[in-house]
């Protein structure tokens, strides 16, 4: 984009450049920044609504605080595009979320202004508190600021951090500011001129000093102290919802309009001078400044490329219906099974749209539970429901179940409760990068007693696998990737796949010389590239379907008739499905050469999923090449 269209923004290469701007120039900067953001994201895709809502807040924070010396810690991080643009990465926005390009989330190795890497929720207060205490221990005078969204405040971890932050360390309170970016409630009348005045008053030195003096003076007269405390809480409670944060030991200020720089800047300046834990409540609007995103912030949460002048468009109708995504297959199965079995209840940790549960919510509102961004609670809540004879289905991303791992073991598996875990986004997810990669679920689930793990190969098998999991009386996880699959027609019945049984999908056609007979054991959707590779190699291919219980008889059969067993999985090799096959062979006393293909022992970066799959050697060409190399090396 031409500097002429954003003359002020084009001069901002680091936050120090905006600290000399007048209030009027900062307001103009907000206009230009919002437009630049909209134009950039419309060309690359990415998170939009949340970033449009944090433009003024980001400008105010960098204007008031001396970053990077003062630490800004963003929660989740999908609202940090304005932050990235203002911290020297404006010209890299064209590479956003692309392989080798800029991450869509904060990363410490990307910029010194990204003080803490994140992409999962509710970590900011804990990290910022650690930074504040770290500065205290090192004798450094700097502030730590956590910016957390209202959704992230639904997680227990945020309140654990608040609880810890409100107590002194070595006799000193931490220099911590928590900014609650409240973007779900509307800017109601109290968030106006009166509330702006109150925010300035409560964050100002006179109020702070008077408050502390009164505390000291009245502390010797307990009845009067308690009366004064109650009067203050009552007075504040009439205009602010902050009593709970006061009880944690924070001084609560707000709510204030998060799009009003005339309110944000003086309040932040006052809070910067204040000592001890401070809590600022700002109200913003998702999609602010772009009417289409304001009207439908969910649709514009993470759009692909689009024309800002037109907005998101529905794809043109075609004679060929689009292939359903795995998420849609799950959503339809959930509704059908719920209609057939009144015991079914469904749980999501704040991922209704992402997990394909909108239709279920509409049809079965009394059996739908969104527990907020609280994965630990989601798992144990499901366990409690199962104790009462219900059949819980927990729809959760593979990467997010990691956050409820202790509950999976302790509350579900030890008690052997029949909970179904529908693990969406298993394997490579693409543009969101390492934080969202579903690389570890096979390894971390299959090692738990009582827990089964299914890896369907396509859309039809996903429905059958979910039915098979639901029929069990113990915990079962079904993993499936993001996006579409091979396009196999999905049945409408609820028939399960045969429990614990794989199948041979391709038999090698010709007799091979010794050492050249190959069987590929495919787990999940990599069956299809494995079949392509097998055509070139004339190899046998098994669709294993189950990691646990593993079809040991099929493994032994393939071991007896082949010279090399190749396992293929879209998950980590360490402890994965290939390891399960090796363990089964060892237990049977069989020594057969093995080649285990899967995700490498490193965090896979963001980029196009097909490209990443190829770079990991898990496309058809990569599988074929690796097998040929092994055969050549052992010939």
Say yes or no: 186 and 331 in one domain.
no
Per the annotation, the verdict on 403 as an active-site residue is: yes
For 507-529, what is the mean pLDDT? 91
Say yes or no: 352 and 453 in one domain.
yes
Higher pLDDT, 33 or 226: 33
Least confident of 40-44, 153-157, 266-270, 375-379: 153-157
CA dihedral sign, ordered 122, 127, 130, 132? negative
Q: What is the CATH number of the domain that holds 60?
A: 3.40.50.970
In this model, does residue 240 exceed pLDDT 90?
no
Instruction: Determine which one of 286, 425, 463, 506 is catalytic.
Output: 286
Say yes or no: 513 and 428 in one domain.
no
Asked if 472 and 450 touch (Cβ cutoff 8 Å), the reply is no
The band of 244, judged by pLDDT with boundaries at 50, 70 and 90, is confident
d(CA 480, CA 355): 11
Q: Which structural domain, as residue segments, surrounds residue 526?
A: 504-634
Q: Under DSSP, is residue 311 helix (H, G, I), strand (E, B) or coil? A: strand
**484 is a domain residue:** no
Say yes or no: 629 and 515 in one domain.
yes
Say yes or no: 403 and 517 in one domain.
no
Q: Under DSSP, is residue 531 helix (H, G, I), strand (E, B) or coil? A: helix
Least confident of 78-87, 107-116, 209-218, 371-380: 209-218
**221 is a domain residue:** yes
In this model, does residue 303 exceed pLDDT 80?
yes
Q: At 83, which helix (H) or strand (E)?
A: helix 81-84
Say yes or no: 230 and 359 in one domain.
no
Nearest to 95 by CA among 138, 46, 128: 46
For 176-188, what is the mean pLDDT? 73
For the entire predicted model, the pTM comes to: 0.85
Least confident of 8-12, 52-56, 206-210, 275-279: 206-210
Interhelix angle for 261-273 vs 193-203, to 10°?
A: 10
d(CA 27, CA 269): 17
The band of 182, judged by pLDDT with boundaries at 50, 70 and 90, is confident
Q: In sequence order, what are the beta bridge partners of 190?
A: none
d(CA 204, CA 206): 6
In this model, does residue 198 exceed pLDDT 60?
no
Strand segments, DSSP code E, in 10-156 are 71-74, 144-149
CA dihedral sign, ordered 615, 620, 621, 625? positive
Per the annotation, the verdict on 286 as an active-site residue is: yes
Least confident of 285-294, 482-491, 506-515, 530-539: 506-515
Q: How many CB atoms lie within 10 A of CB 510?
A: 5
Say yes or no: 246 and 291 in one domain.
yes
Instruction: Determine which one of 403, 425, 482, 506 is catalytic.
Output: 403
Mean pLDDT value across the chain: 89
pLDDT digits (tens, 9 = 90+) for 324-383: 999 999 999 999 999 999 999 999 998 898 899 999 999 999 999 998 888 999 999 999
Q: What does residue 594 show for φ and ψ, rounded to 5 degrees?
A: -130, 150
**301 is a domain residue:** no
**271 is a domain residue:** yes
Instruction: Determine which one of 375, 459, 570, 624 is catalytic.
Output: 375
In this model, does residue 220 exceed pLDDT 70?
no
**498 is a domain residue:** no
Residue-level pLDDT at 29: 96
In this model, does residue 309 exceed pLDDT 70?
yes
State what percent of residues in the chain have pLDDT above 90. 69
Interhelix angle for 205-218 vs 193-203, to 10°?
A: 60
For 47-56, what is the mean pLDDT? 92
**489 is a domain residue:** no
Query: Ramachandran region of residue 332, left (φ > 0), alpha (ψ -120 to 50) or beta?
Result: alpha
Higher pLDDT, 322 or 621: 621
d(CA 82, CA 63): 13
Say yes or no: 112 and 204 in one domain.
yes
In this model, does residue 119 exceed pLDDT 60?
yes
361 DSSP 8-state letter: H
For 65-81, what is the mean pLDDT? 93
Q: In sequence order, what are the beta bridge partners of 94?
A: none
d(CA 62, CA 19): 8
For 546-569, what is the mean pLDDT? 97
Say yes or no: 513 and 395 in one domain.
no
Strands 71-74 and 144-149: parallel
The band of 186, judged by pLDDT with boundaries at 50, 70 and 90, is very low
Q: What is the CATH number of the domain that holds 627?
A: 3.40.50.920
Residue-level pLDDT at 302: 84
Least confident of 64-73, 145-154, 185-194, 267-276: 185-194
d(CA 54, CA 76): 13
How many domains in the chain?
A: 3
Residue-level pLDDT at 313: 85
Say yes or no: 115 and 33 in one domain.
yes
Say yes or no: 37 and 102 in one domain.
yes
Max mean pLDDT among 127-141, 149-163, 448-462 falls in 448-462
**300 is a domain residue:** no
**57 is a domain residue:** yes
Say yes or no: 461 and 560 in one domain.
no
């Amino acid at each position: 984009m031409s500097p002429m269209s954003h003359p002020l923004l084009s001069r901002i290469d680091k936050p120090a450049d905006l600290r000399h701007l007048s209030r009027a120039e900062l307001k103009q900067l907000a206009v230009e920044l919002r437009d630049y953001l909209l134009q950039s994201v419309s060309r690359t895709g990415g998170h939009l609504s949340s970033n449009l809502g944090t433009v003024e807040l980001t400008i105010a924070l960098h204007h008031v605080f001396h970053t990077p010396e003062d630490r800004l810690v963003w929660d989740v991080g999908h609202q940090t595009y304005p932050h990235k643009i203002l911290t020297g990465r404006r010209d890299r926005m064209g590479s956003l979320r692309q392989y080798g390009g800029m991450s869509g989330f904060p990363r410490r190795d990307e910029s010194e202004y990204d003080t803490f890497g994140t992409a999962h929720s509710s970590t900011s207060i804990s990290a910022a508190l650690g930074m504040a205490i770290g500065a205290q221990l090192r004798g450094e005078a700097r502030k730590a600021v956590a910016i957390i969204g209202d959704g992230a405040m639904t997680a227990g971890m945020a309140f654990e951090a608040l609880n810890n932050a409100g107590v002194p360390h070595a006799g000193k309170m931490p220099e911590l500011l928590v900014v609650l970016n409240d973007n779900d409630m509307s800017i109601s009348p109290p968030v106006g001129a009166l509330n702006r005045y109150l925010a300035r008053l409560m964050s100002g030195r006179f109020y702070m000093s008077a408050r502390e003096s009164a505390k000291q003076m009245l502390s010797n007269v307990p009845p009067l102290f308690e009366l004064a405390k109650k009067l203050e809480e009552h007075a504040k409670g009439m205009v602010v919802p902050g009593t709970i944060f006061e009880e944690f030991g924070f001084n609560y200020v707000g709510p204030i309009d998060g799009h009003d720089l005339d309110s944000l800047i003086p309040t932040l300046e006052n809070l910067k001078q204040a000592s001890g834990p401070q809590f600022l409540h700002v109200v913003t609007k998702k999609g602010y400044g772009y009417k289409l995103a304001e009207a439908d912030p969910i649709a514009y949460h993470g759009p692909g490329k689009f024309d800002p002048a037109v907005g998101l468009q529905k794809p043109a109708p075609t004679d060929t219906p689009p292939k359903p995504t795995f998420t849609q297959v799950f959503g339809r199965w959930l509704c059908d099974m719920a209609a057939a079995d009144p015991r079914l209840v469904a749980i999501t940790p704040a991922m209704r749209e992402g997990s394909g549960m909108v239709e279920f919510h509409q049809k079965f509102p009394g059996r739908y539970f969104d527990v907020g961004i609280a994965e630990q609670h989601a798992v144990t809540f499901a366990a409690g429901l199962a104790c009462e004879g219900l059949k819980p289905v927990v729809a959760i991303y593979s990467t997010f179940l990691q956050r409820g791992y202790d509950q999976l073991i302790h509350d579900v598996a030890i008690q052997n409760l029949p909970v179904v875990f529908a693990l969406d986004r298993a394997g490579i997810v693409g543009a969101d990068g390492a934080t969202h990669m579903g690389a570890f679920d096979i390894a971390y689930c299959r090692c738990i007693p009582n827990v089964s793990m299914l890896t369907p190969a396509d859309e039809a098998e996903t429905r059958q696998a979910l039915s098979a999991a639901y029929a069990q009386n113990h915990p079962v996880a079904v993993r499936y990737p993001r996006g579409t699959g091979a396009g196999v027609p999905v049945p409408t019945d609820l028939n399960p796949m045969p429990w614990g049984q794989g199948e041979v999908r391709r038999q090698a056609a010709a007799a091979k010389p010794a050492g050249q007979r190959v069987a590929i054991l495919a787990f999940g959707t990599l069956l299809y590239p494995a079949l392509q590779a097998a055509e070139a190699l004339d190899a046998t291919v098994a669709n294993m379907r189950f990691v646990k219980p593993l079809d040991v008889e099929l493994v032994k059969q393939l071991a007896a008739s082949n010279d090399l067993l190749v396992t293929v999985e879209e998950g980590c090799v360490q402890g994965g499905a290939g390891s399960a096959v090796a363990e089964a062979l060892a237990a049977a006393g069989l020594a057969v050469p093995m080649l285990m293909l899967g995700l490498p022992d490193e965090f896979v970066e963001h980029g196009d999923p097909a490209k990443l799959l190829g770079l990991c050697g898990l496309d058809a060409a990569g599988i074929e090449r690796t097998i040929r190399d092994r055969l050549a090396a052992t010939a």
